[in-house]
Chain A
């Protein structure tokens, strides 16, 4: 929620803290709050009056507006359709810094638009940096003095932004709530906003029809003598600071009160209402309503509508209807305010994708007693503007009361590990507007009406601790001893198996728990849909089932790396593995209907992959002291089908294994003996180069005294940062000499290497090897 610092100062006359101190105070004691920015009008912007409008001679959609500051007049070009003669508008002379659609500022110059010179321009809210609204020129209130700087009437403000947690949404989605919070933390007094005294409920508003919908409270007030003119600038400034667009003073007052008190109300144009009886009912399936945003919403029986004589006039708690909205000719109105079921509002707002400031508040729950305050506050402001009340209705059959919490004040210390005296506890609770009866050992504490989150003793403990400050609680290392057997057999076996596989040359990979149809196709597997677990809201249609095998994912990962592999002719190119769960429907699992089985699987790619896999699986079985001949009980070992592999352009064989890890654990003939480790060094990941590598082979013949290390060292030293890898792939003795063959990987961290670059460095390496080692190049 956006918070106006000026508004806080109005509610807290003794507030001395700067905005950034308020942000820090609230962050450490209440909820995350930051200073979001300033809201101010450029002092160069002036108040001017439109005295003449004529069409642009060369453009249909432009007008020439003649404006005056009371002394002199100028004519500017304007493209907005909403301006009329007699209106006051903001005018920026050339040289004024304004804002474009991306929020960047630009300085306007005198420009000629289709042959007419425009010395400056009239401004929208967006151009002034006050609001994203750009549909028209901002029409100012009539009473501003002509020719003055607009900034003189629009106080500069600082905007704070608070992330109100759901437990505080009942009381803190408002300036009054935030002011009360600050008052409690800093021991200040809140200056309460003035409220109107309403006449007794009368028969001039004719009743209410709620059916069996649970609406704890419903209030309505009729008004006449309404005028839909622009609001005073100070009120508009508060709305803009809150992120809302000003309309006219009638709509603005209801919005203002929502941002002030936290309780949304709605004002209908009385003359457009289709009858007398207010009501709330479920919409009928397919019922349509045009809302104030002029969008047509199709409703269902799960949505609630506000009705007059059973005709829908608003989507309850979310948005008013267009037909009954306040318009420029409104003179009488019906103000309504109610409590709607939070979950229903949440569902409808979500389904219609129509989250409004009102729905946001209703969906989180509001206290029915707030309705009286917000209604009287709106009435006060309307009466101040000259309106008259015609009648009042208040349906509140069962007034809401906060629970009395039986509270032992010593519990605060017991929870915190910090001694807090009962007097201090009491003082804090009173500052938080709680009623505290401390006559008995167990106190009787009642929270204020709007604190729907205060229900049980831990709620009060939290209040006391956060007001004192969580930083006051000391840090204490618990007096406990190391666990004698912290890891289950399963965890130990898993870690042992991981170590075994890593030592055997396998790299561990993690795959999603979702089956992925294209990966299944790659390995020629099909999913057994009769036992598959289906996700109803999958990431993609291809991933709508949970996996039944680890192999497709592992193989998919191998293929994803193909371009970087396969440049070698090693016996084993690459081996990867995963230990993870597969999922099927069944009755043997922990959760009803779901069976999760842990598997271990791996693949080895290369001429000796098959032997590698076979040897590794033997090692795994040995590890569990399970006989190697029992392999078939645990899973399978095999070679990927040649056609499938060739279709992926893999020319070397791919061998795989996949074993039921649960069964291995259950069949283990010995106990696991995994030792906890610190998980390796904290080395820094080096992001690989974005630029493509180039591979070259190099075969040389040297005397037997020359070592591989010498050769590799010279290659790397000569190639410097252009050599990404040197890989020996062949070595043999021939006529008393040794022949070595290397793959060289050239890659720059900074650019794409050209053929010329490669030639140059490759030749340099060759000449160094020839010179230093007397090598012959083959």
Chain B
């Protein structure tokens, strides 16, 4: 090999960025992507060569290749967005994108990547990230969230129970309470909590007994339904890199009042109607509402002074929509042909 691999990588980075800057329109983007980022593109070829290096060189080259891959992909996404905005065409530019397969550079789980994306979006809106136990005290999972023992909502939840009377948390909502009580949060505050949750149900392409939820919680003196709408719209629009519309429908969750179901305009068909949205143009994304006064009381927050919203929704579903994944079981499958497609 005449030129060290790291230099080849640096050259590729410069050349690819230069070429991307020169791309004049939407049509010239795809050839660029195939040439540099495609499965059989130049970067993929170099990454394959990394495996031939000895250990220390392999590590530094691997890190560099990963960085370049991220940089180029982000640059491509940004460039595609520029053209998309100009042409107001549906966001199909990314749909064919694929990155190099198995190589000596590893891959992060798509749920990890989605949670990173969520953290990024919410941190910019002033939210902090909280975490809580997976095995919960039923008081936190249910009672303190205004779901008493005999409440139908509790009886209908398929909960895993432990021999000592704990439960595997059925939602990330208990983290609201944990964050406020354990972190000594005082209003105003904004918290999100992404994490693993459990429901004792049989699995199929759209159901898993182990999945991931995002809980968000914002309390202030004048935090309103209008604020909730703004946060949610920004969340989904940023996550899917397109301007989505949201719709609230009345619903019922014991820990909020009023309670809403949140729909998002279908990002697959742009509301033209498709199989993903059941031809309705809307996707059901999450449950939400204004925090119930009983829950605020249970957090020792004066509900006559403070008010706020909470919402909880599936992260798996977000990742499935973003990456066109059609089977939720893939996330826990450990299948490398699946996992190796993400980075």
Contact = CB atoms under 8 A, between A and B. Distances in A.
Interface string A550-570: 000110111011001100001
Contacts of A294: none
B334 A560 contact: yes
B257 A459 contact: yes
A481 B123 CA distance: 9
Contacts of A440: none
Interface in A384-409: none
Interchain residue pairs A-B with the least CB separation, the first 10: A557-B334, A417-B226, A417-B224, A462-B258, A679-B117, A480-B126, A486-B123, A165-B252, A679-B116, A475-B229
A681 B94 contact: yes
B313 interface: no
A682 B252 contact: no
Q: How large is the interface on A (under 10, 10 to 19, 20 to 34, 35 or more residues)?
A: 35 or more
Contacts, number: 347
Contacts of A470: 225, 247-250, 260
B111 A510 contact: yes
B324 interface: yes
Interface of B: 40, 42, 45, 48-49, 51-52, 55, 58-59, 62-63, 66, 70, 73-74, 76-77, 94-99, 101-102, 104-109, 111-120, 122-137, 140, 150, 152-153, 155, 160-164, 166, 168, 178, 182, 190, 196, 198, 200, 209-210, 218, 222-227, 229-231, 233-234, 240-241, 246-252, 257-261, 290, 292-293, 307, 322-326, 331-343
B298 to A, nearest CB: 15
Given A343-B150, A478-B231, A561-B336, A505 B62 contact: yes
A723 B265 CA distance: 39
B115 A589 contact: no
Given A458-B258, A503-B59, A536-B161, 13 more contacts: A31-B250, A32-B249, A169-B152, A470-B248, A502-B105, A503-B62, A504-B59, A507-B107, A535-B168, A537-B200, A572-B51, A583-B135, A684-B95
Nearest to B66: A503
Nearest to A509: B334
Interface in A428-470: 456, 458-459, 461-462, 465-466, 470
A685 B323 contact: yes
Contacts of A418: 225-226
A535 B200 CA distance: 11
A592 interface: yes
A647 interface: no
Nearest to A169: B152
Contacts of B76: 681
Nearest to A411: B307
Contacts of A184: none
Contacts of A342: 150, 152
Contacts of B223: 478
Contacts of B74: 678, 681
Contact of B106 (A465, A501, A560, A713): A501
A683 B229 CA distance: 28
Contact of B210 (A498, A499, A513): A513
Given A498-B108, A502-B105, A560-B334, A593 B226 contact: no
A594 B131 contact: no
B249 A487 contact: no
16 contacts: A28-B247, A165-B252, A462-B257, A470-B225, A475-B226, A483-B126, A487-B128, A535-B162, A553-B334, A575-B106, A619-B59, A680-B73, A681-B94, A683-B97, A683-B99, A683-B342
Interface in A323-337: none
A687 B123 CA distance: 33
Nearest to B320: A685
A709 B45 contact: yes
B261 A32 contact: yes
A722 to B, nearest CB: 14
Contacts of A85: none
Nearest to B123: A486
A175 B127 CA distance: 45
Given A482-B123, A708-B49, A534 B163 contact: yes
